[in-house]
Amino acid sequence: MSTLLADRQIEHLMTLHPKGFDLSLDRISRLLERLGNPQDRLPPVIHIAGTNGKGSTAAFSRALLEAAGLRVHVHTSPHLVNWHERYRLGAEGGGKFVADDVLADAIGRVADANRGETITVFEILTAVTFLLFSEHPADVAVIEVGLGGRFDATNVIKKPAVSVIMPVSLDHEAYLGDRVELIAAEKAGIIKRGCPVIVGAQESDAAREVLIETAERLGCPLAVYGQDFIASQEHGRMIYQDQTGLMDLSPPRLPGRHQYANAAAAIAAVRAAGFRLDDHAADRAMTTVSWPGRMQRLPQGKLVDLAPAGAEIWLDGGHNPGAGLVVAEALTEQEEKSARPLFLICGMINTKDQTGYFRAFKGIARHVYTVPVAFSDASVPNSELAIRAGEAGLSAEPVSSVANALMLLRDTWDASEPAPRILISGSLYLAGAVLAENGTPPV
């Protein structure tokens, strides 16, 4: 059992309340009313939805705002190792994860206000977000949507400074719909009449059209990636362009060409929210941004020590076909810089399109080791996951754990070859477990 008081409180709440999602705003609205509606007392809010890229865009937004000298609250979900990661409280010189005693106190007050009524744990934790962010001073709050948008518990914010919709693709079909335009309509539910809207790079014309139509119907100032702002890679630099001109910036610290578009959406969002952003602050943000568990390089740690000598190890929690495509592209970029054989260690849960995810790696991954996902009742059995990888045209075999996969690779490695490039991926639950076991949790 965790030694952190807040963790123990949340574990207890999970025994009292239903697991999963129950999309509605009625329960959280009633709870927030009892708490004095803290969501109405927040600093300006950058509200971010999307299937992929919303976490990276939140990270870029935080880096940009902090580089500009502002205090930034950040709410993201899910966490990787500790629940405290969901709440970063703004402070001079950079925000910090909420202290355990502060989080425990807020959880206790929210649980008391709920009076034992039916509610989901995510709704309780979202109410905790609003309580914490209303009681601690900051200049701006970056709030990531949990699931969907229209009925997500975060969508009680009446007047966001800006609503941001990142790439929309198929995911959570049971809740959001089985066509991308239906999912886009759910994501567009965070758009509020007259409030600025940023539409990030979209994979689907149908999704983009739904988002633009919604913003225009609600009379929102609108900026669309590729139309009103854009970022490109030129001579090793990132060039951002919008109606105000050009910014010549360092390339984003987060790997992958898709991060140029995510960074661009964050720059556009910060400006649309009314914050001044000069080239110096934007450049500094590109070099300092951090987003654990998303194409994160693991240079050292207990698990890294089990791999073949000199192996290059990456960790990514992406878990749908769209995420698979951008990760595969990022790894192809790494291959162009330094050729190494690519191996995957993958664990996934049963609500995801496993074969669709693996299909992105056909032709670039030599072999896949499939592992169970610890701490998830929805883990796909490793033997079944190996079959799904095979359906996507990959060579695959089940093993019992990430550690065993790394040791098996080490013990069978041909030293005459370049050391391998290893991607551990498929689930944020798996990413969190790896960071904990490796001894490198988020900070």
In tens, the pLDDT along 252-295 reads 999 989 999 999 999 999 999 999 999 999 999 999 999 999 99
Q: What mean pLDDT do residues 193-198 have?
A: 98
Per residue in 232-244, pLDDT (tens digit) is: 999 999 999 999 9
CA-closest candidate to residue 156, choices 348, 26, 300, 11: 26
How high is the mean pLDDT of the chain? 94
pTM score of the predicted model: 0.92
Whose structure tokens read 């075999």? 397
pLDDT at 174 over 60: no
CA distance 327 to 256: 7
Q: Would residue 224 be called left, alpha or beta, if left means φ above 0 and alpha means ψ between -120 and 50 degrees?
A: beta
- Which is it for the CA torsion 289, 291, 294, 298, positive or negative? positive
CA-closest candidate to residue 240, choices 60, 68, 69, 72: 60
CA angle 264, 270, 276 (to 5 degrees): 115
The amino acid at 183: I
pLDDT at 20 over 70: no
- Which is it for the CA torsion 336, 342, 345, 348, positive or negative? positive
The amino acid at 19: K
Backbone angles phi, psi at 185, to 5 degrees: -65, -35
Contact (CB, 8 A) for 211 and 222:
no
Per residue in 404-413, pLDDT (tens digit) is: 999 999 999 9
CA distance 370 to 436: 19
Beta strand 367-370 with 140-144: parallel, antiparallel or unpaired? Answer: unpaired
Q: Cite the beta strand spans of 273-401 per DSSP E.
A: 296-297, 312-316, 342-346, 367-370, 396-398
CA distance 296 to 315: 5
CA distance 338 to 358: 23
Contact (CB, 8 A) for 193 and 219:
yes
Backbone angles phi, psi at 261, to 5 degrees: -70, -40
Instruction: Give the whole-number percent of the chain exceeding pLDDT 70.
Output: 96
pLDDT at 416 over 60: yes
Q: Would residue 144 be called left, alpha or beta, if left means φ above 0 and alpha means ψ between -120 and 50 degrees?
A: beta
